Each structure stands twice: as structure tokens, then as C-alpha cells.
A and B are shown apart, each in its own frame.
Chain A
Amino acid sequence: MSQRYARRDDRRVVVTGLGVVSPYGRGCPAYWHGLSQGCCILGPLSLFPTEGFRSGIGGEVSAAITRTLGRAHRSRATRFLVAAAEEAVGHAGLGAAELAAAAVSIGGAGGGMLEVEAWYWARYHQHENKRQRAALRSMTPAAQTDALACQLRIGGPRESPILACSSSAAAIATVADLIETGVVDVGLAGGVDTLTRLCFMGFNALKLLDTQSCRPFAHDRRGMSLGEGAAVLVLESWRHATARGAPIRAGVAGCGISSDAFHPTAPPTDAEGAVRAMREALARAHLTPADIVYVNAHGTGTVQNDRAEAVALEAVFGAGKVLVSATKSLIGHTMGAAGALEAVATILALETGLLPPTANLWEPDPAIPFDCIPHAARPCSLDCAMSNSFGFGGQNVSLIVLHPDVVG
């Protein structure tokens, strides 16, 4: 392993715990099993009526899985989030003292909106009830973070960053910053979003949803598929993790955050902001483009995003110089949770030496000059990899993670 990857300062950031709730099920094993098998879990949505809309499919966490996720009176988002965080904290072996001082940053766009919608719909039809109104307490994304902090007794700096699709990637980047600058030794960073009527209706209205399972990087791609889930990572300083003998799952080498300042929903055709975010991540990680062999793409399946993303990747790495795959082809676009879910996928790819595939890629777009790993996972041992998120409103976040063996 190359010594140049290993930063020497004690405050370099490592990952000591991972937790996931995904449409595949509860926990990282179910998540990785689904991804590594290339299993596209997208199907008809059942959480709310979909009649009258052009697209009614997505990656939904089943009722059977949801029933296992803690207290039923909580918002769906809180249940996902707490389950994911408990897995991460359990694997990291964090105790009460560490949690009391830990930072927590949970990104998300919708918060407890699913339940609030039910209240509002009932109110509009003049049959609201008090139980539904109680959902208001959990409406905002911050309320999910507050609930998690309360449940796990997390007492350090707390944030709920909202960067649309880049929310949880930004949570990871900003918690990493807090560790590197000595504000905290430990932080939980992640994201959660559930399917909501709002999101479903909105993307349908924008005509950004495919009527069948999304096909990122395909020649005939026609849009996104929605999804839902949660992921939480435990981040620590290397010094703190090694001092307590914690398992080091990965390193967070560098993160880039930039804005497009271009359009509410579309990226600029030159993808200049995305390029800057990737270059910043590389610079902060003290890496060059040649060091990156795999990129977990934002890869939504829309005509515009995938095209712009390919332009950005080509500008940074050169045509064909990296392997690329889109987790969203397997589980859908999980909105604010996507950045964290895809960071976990990238870490598990490093850990296992197996790159998850892009599903539904029967006819790759010839204008996208990258091997997007169609259908089947690809064995590949890597020291490091990149995971990108490019959100509505021009929010770009790029993360670079390291194999634990090169963390040093």
C-alpha cells in the first residue's frame, strides 16, 4: 500500500461504525447482500395512492421490515434513523461517555413529512384527529436528529444540514471537519428520508421519474426512481479510535463542498461545480486523480444529471479512467439519505474488494465514456474510492474514503 495515502496527524478521520436501513432490509449485511448481488429492489409503491401519476414505482422499505424498527408511534423517518444509528453505534462499541460528547449531524429533506401529510390531507377533508396532529412535532428534519440525540443520549454539537440530495454527504463532510479541527473526537453523521407524497408528486410533476426502473447511464434512460432509507456512520479521530481499540472500517480522506449557483433543478452543462467539489476532495485527501479507480456516482438516471456527471468525471479523471456505478439503479434515489447510503456502499466495496454494479444498464449511453459496471458486481481491490452527490439547487459534495489498511 502506498505510504502517500497515510496522513500522519492524529486527527485524521476514521470510520468505526456503519448502520443502514434500506429497501433490502434492516442492517448492513442485508444492504450489502442486495447491492453485491446487483438486485434491483424497485417495485410498485404502496405507502400512498399513486393513481393518476405517470410513475408509481420506487424502493420502498416494506411493512414487514418497518414493523421491526422500534416504536410505532414515532415518525417513519425517526424509526429508520434510530435503527441505523443503533447498528452503527453498536458496531463501533461507543459507550455513554463518548456519546455524551459526540457530534451528530443528520441530513434529510423530508423529515417527518409523511405523517404530517396524512394530518394535512385529513384536515383538508375536515376529519383531522389529535393523533395525526401529534405528527407536527416531528415534521422538520431537525426533529429526527433531536429524537436520535435523545434516544442515544448524544450531547455534543448537533446539526441537521439540508442540501437536498447531498444532505447526508454534507453531514459526513462537516462532521469530519469538526473532528479534524479538534472540536470533537467522535461524531455520528448520516441521513434519512422516507417516501412522501410531496416528493412523489413533485418529481412526477417535474417529469423526472422513469415509468420503469431507472436506468442510470443507459442510452435510453428516462429519469429517476424514488427510494427511502437511512444510513449512519460513526466517525472518530484516528487517535481516539486507536486509543480505545475501536475497529477501523475506513478512513475519510477528504471532502469537497461546492455550489453551482446556476439553476434550481438542473446542473450546468460544463458541470463546473461538480468538478470543483471533486478536485477539492482530492486536494484535501492529498491524492491525485490517478489514485482513484472507482467512483460511486450520483447517477440518478435523468438525461441531464448523468450527462453532466460524465462531463465532470471526464474533466477530473479523463475519459474511461475510472470505474463508475450508480447505487440508485438498485435502491432508487433516497434523497437526503443518498449521500450516506452511498458512502456506506463505497466503504463496503473497499472492504470486500467488490464494486457494486449499475442495474438495468442494458444499453450504455455511448456518449458516456466510462465503464459503468453493468449488471454484476466487479471484483477489484482498491486503496481508495470516491462517492459523489449532486443535489437540487446546485449542491455538490464529493467524499473520498480509504481502505482501512492504508489509513495508517
Chain B
Amino acid sequence: MAALPAYRAVITGIGCTSPFGVGGYTLVADVLQANTTAIRPITGFPTDGLSSCLGAEVPAACLPVTEEGRRWSRLSQMTVLACRQAVAEAGLCGSDTLSQAGLVVGSEFGDTRSTEAFSLGFLRKGPLGLSPLLFPSTVMNTMASTTSMALGIKGPMLTLNQAGVAGELAVVRALALLHAGRAPVVIACGVDELFPLLYATLVQLQVLSPRGCGEEACRPFDQRHNGLVLGEGATAVVIESPAHARAREAPILAEVQSLWWRGIPTPPGRYPALRQGRLQMLPQAWRGAGVCPEDIGLAYLSGCGDPQHDALELACLAAAFETHRPLLTSVTHLTGDYGGLGAFRVAAAAVTVGTGIAPILDYLCQPMRADVRFVVQPVAPPPTVVLVHGLARGGMHAALLVERPQGADDGVE
């Protein structure tokens, strides 16, 4: 069995800490509408001597030093702000429900910045250079634990580590927690940050554009794609059952369900081989979700500008949809790429089904394939069912469906 049993929940709040600022539904809608990239030369740390210099950074002004956050790492602060915004938009602040809520944080690298700082303390000064204060941040659950303390969340709290699709998996796991009756509400958050060691190492490993070939740029699905451009951020979505949301008169932004969740056996760090059937979402996945491929008007892809990734993802979707050709889009050209970005994609999908706004891939001059349709102009009519698709190194493959709430006339209830 590879399809997930149909379990539908609703999204009732969105929060983001992003290169575009800190906000919720409206911020995401503005970002998609403006379609202006946050990728620019990095200023947060020097990139001299590196063959790449671009990234999408969360501005320092978005992360003020506060008394409450005295001991928070930068990454934890991003997570707290996003979750706090989502909780506020969901109308849960100060509620008893919040104390019973679950929290799932997905991240690829966690607080490796703090891990490095901790190690440097020892390397520079021996045992006396160590910082006990910093040590808890070296374990990847630090963002979730800090957020739980800041918001008073006492239900099940999980941190999921995964390359590439950490954000999508956080949402999938949140749905699973709800399905298992472990919490009335779950906050799912995807987060990762840019830091010097990661950047320099990925340059050295030839992961970042331009990889010695052409212009440094973020161009997923374009034939000129030549590697990743990194970004950072935290996006949180509040998820609960429709009945629970209706009972407390919560704003229902979209419906969400898991469609597909599996790992293709692949050596760590590599993409799965492109072979017939390996990447195909089986027909029973569609049936299990109670949806036909033809119902899907648009798909958010995880394509990041890595040629292998982009090619695999398009091949996978071509096989999954067969003759149907939904519109394909991406947020990566706006936000840069990072492991937790999938949560932003889910939030964007919720905005799309509510407003019809979807990012336009205006950089796309030489599409990789002619047999797919990319969003190159405003979408009309607005799609009511959107696929959020994620594929990652190491073989993780996940997909979610985001739908306009039932009974909604023109979007947000």
C-alpha cells in the first residue's frame, strides 16, 4: 500500500518569517501577487572568494533582539515568529486549545549555525570556551522546544529532519497526528536558515548555481538551470479537523490532505533513478484521496534549479497525470531554496485556491519540456484543487492536495 487513507483537514492560520517580512495570509498573497524575487547578493556574511554570492535572506530588522528571546537562536526566533503569527490568524492565542496543540517542525539542517559556534568555542579556547547555553541548540528539536515554551504548546511535539521536503513532511505528519487523535489542532512548520558554513560547503560541493557554467541565477525548469540558489525562512500552518474548526468558528482558508508519502530506496544525497514506475504516484493514490487527476488545476513543484531534480520531477508528474496537463508553478524563484520551503508552498497553495493568485515563472525562457504547461501569466479560472509536490535527494517523495473549502463561493471563509 502506498496511498494514504483519505483524511481531510483544514488550514485555519498561516504565519511566515521570510525575506519579505513577517506576516500571514496577506503577506503570502502579496508575495505571490507581486512576484518579485527576494534573491539578491548576500549581505549577512561575506561571500568573497566564493563562486556564488546570491541568496534570499530574512532581514535583520525582522528578527529584533527581545528580552523574551534573549537565549533564542536566530533559527528558533524565525520559528517562533512564524508559529505565533499562524496561531494568531487562527484565533488560538491564549486558548486552552493551544495548550493541547501539537507542533511539528520540519528542517533539513536545523540549528547547525549554533552547532558550529559551540564547536568553535572549544577549538579556540578549550573546555572553558564551551557555552552550556548554546548546547541545547545543537539538537535539532531546539526550534520546536523554544516555540512550545513561547506559545505554551503542550501536546505532541515532533521535529522531522529531512532533506528537501522537510516542510511538506511536517504537514503530512501533522495530518497523521490529527488522524490518530493525538491533538485537536496541530501547527506544522518548515524552517531552515542560511549560514556561512552551509553556503561555503555547498559551493565547494558544486550544488549552488552557477557551478562554473553560465550566470548565477535561480531558474527551475529552464534549460539554463545550473544549480540552486539558497534562501531561508519559516512558514507555519495551523491544521485541524473541519468539525473542530467549525465548532470554534475558525477561519477556514483551505482543505488539505496527504496524497502520497514514501521514500524511494536511494543512496543518501542522490536522486532516485529515472525508471518506469519508480516515481509514479499509483492510481490508487488518486482514488484513495477521492480525486481524479483531472480535478487538479495547478501544481506547486519543488523544482530548485538542480537539473536532475527538475527533470525527475517533471517526468514524475507527466507519468502521474498521463494526458491531463495542469498548470505548473514554483515559489523558488521568489524565495530561494531550502529544506523547509515546502510549508511555504502549502501556504501558497492555500492562498491560490482562495484568491486565484499563483506565482508567474517570468524567468522561464527555455522550458525544459514542451509537453507541460507552466504558469507564465495570471491564472484563470482560479484552480479549486492544487497539488503540492515534493521530491528530494535521498528518495523522499511526498504530495499533498490543497482545495478550496467546500461551500466557499469565492475563496476564504
Binding site for B on A (CB under 8 A): 52-53, 101, 104, 109, 111, 117, 120-121, 124, 133, 136-138, 140-143, 146-147, 149-164, 170, 174, 177-178, 180-185, 197-198, 201-207, 257-265, 273, 276, 391-395
Contact = CB atoms under 8 A, between A and B. Distances in A.
A101, A141, A159, A163 pick with most chain B CB within 10 angstroms: A159
B263 A257 contact: no
B135 A137 contact: no
B370 interface: no
A99 to B, nearest CB: 9
A142 B394 contact: yes
B5 A183 contact: yes
30 contacts: A52-B126, A101-B1, A101-B2, A104-B263, A120-B116, A120-B119, A124-B120, A142-B108, A143-B269, A146-B263, A147-B267, A149-B395, A155-B2, A157-B261, A157-B263, A159-B173, A160-B160, A161-B159, A163-B158, A170-B158, A177-B180, A183-B1, A185-B1, A198-B118, A202-B130, A259-B155, A264-B146, A393-B136, A393-B142, A395-B145
B154 interface: yes
Contact of A155 (B130, B162, B204, B264): B264
Nearest to B393: A146
A177 B169 CA distance: 16
Contacts of B269: 137, 143
A142 B131 CA distance: 26
Contact of B180 (A136, A152, A180): A180
A143 B268 contact: yes
A104 to B, nearest CB: 7
A296 B145 CA distance: 25
A205 B131 contact: yes
Nearest to A272: B154
Shortest Cβ-Cβ A-B pairs, 9 listed: A393-B145, A158-B263, A202-B135, A146-B394, A257-B156, A205-B130, A177-B180, A264-B136, A259-B157
Nearest to B120: A124
Nearest to A265: B136
A164 B268 contact: no
B155 A158 contact: no
Contact-size category for B: 35 or more
Contacts of B291: none
Contacts of A149: 263, 265-266, 395
A162 B109 CA distance: 12
Contacts of A264: 71, 136, 142, 145-146, 149
Nearest to B126: A52
B155 A258 contact: yes
A201 B138 CA distance: 12
Contacts of A160: 160-162
Contact of B141 (A53, A147, A203, A392): A392
Contacts of B108: 140, 142
Nearest to A183: B4
Interface of B: 1-2, 4-5, 7, 71, 99, 103, 108-110, 115-116, 118-120, 122-123, 126-127, 130-132, 135-136, 138-142, 144-146, 148-149, 151-163, 169, 173, 176-177, 179-180, 182, 201, 204-205, 261-269, 394-396
Q: Give the interface SS of chain A, mostly helix, strand, loop or mixed.
A: mixed
A53 B102 CA distance: 38
A183 B158 contact: no
A333 to B, nearest CB: 13
A394 B4 contact: no
Contacts of A133: 204
Contacts of B99: 261
Contacts of B179: 177, 181
B283 to A, nearest CB: 16
Given A160-B162, A178-B176, A150 B149 contact: no
A202 B163 contact: no
Contact of A392 (B109, B116, B145, B394): B145
Contacts of A137: 268-269
B394 A261 contact: no
Contacts of A124: 120, 123
B148 A205 contact: no
A206 B263 contact: no
B163 A198 contact: no
A392 B157 contact: no
A79 B29 CA distance: 47
Contacts of A152: 265
Contacts of A53: 127
Given A143-B394, A156-B2, A183-B4, A162 B136 contact: no
Nearest to A176: B180
A394 B155 contact: no
Contacts of A182: 5
B182 A177 contact: yes
Contacts of B180: 177, 180-181
B138, B145, B205 pick with most chain A CB within 10 angstroms: B145
Given A150-B265, A181-B179, A263-B149, A140 B136 contact: no
Contact of B265 (A153, A163, A202, A263): A153
Contacts of A104: 263
B139 A392 contact: yes
A140 B263 contact: no
A162 B5 contact: no
A261 to B, nearest CB: 4
B347 to A, nearest CB: 22
Nearest to B108: A140
Given A53-B127, A161-B159, A206 B265 contact: no
Contact of B135 (A120, A206, A263): A206
A154 B148 contact: no
Given A155-B265, A198-B119, A273-B154, A163 B141 contact: yes
Given A205-B127, A206-B132, A393 B139 contact: yes
A185 B268 CA distance: 25
A132 B118 CA distance: 20
Contacts of B155: 257-259
A198 B176 contact: no
A281 to B, nearest CB: 12
A150 B130 contact: no
Nearest to B109: A140
Contacts of B138: 198, 202
A202 B261 CA distance: 36
Contact of B163 (A140, A273, A395): A140
B154 A159 contact: no
Given A174-B158, A183-B4, A201-B130, A162 B139 contact: yes
A174 B394 contact: no
Contact of B169 (A159, A164, A263, A276): A159
A376 B119 CA distance: 40
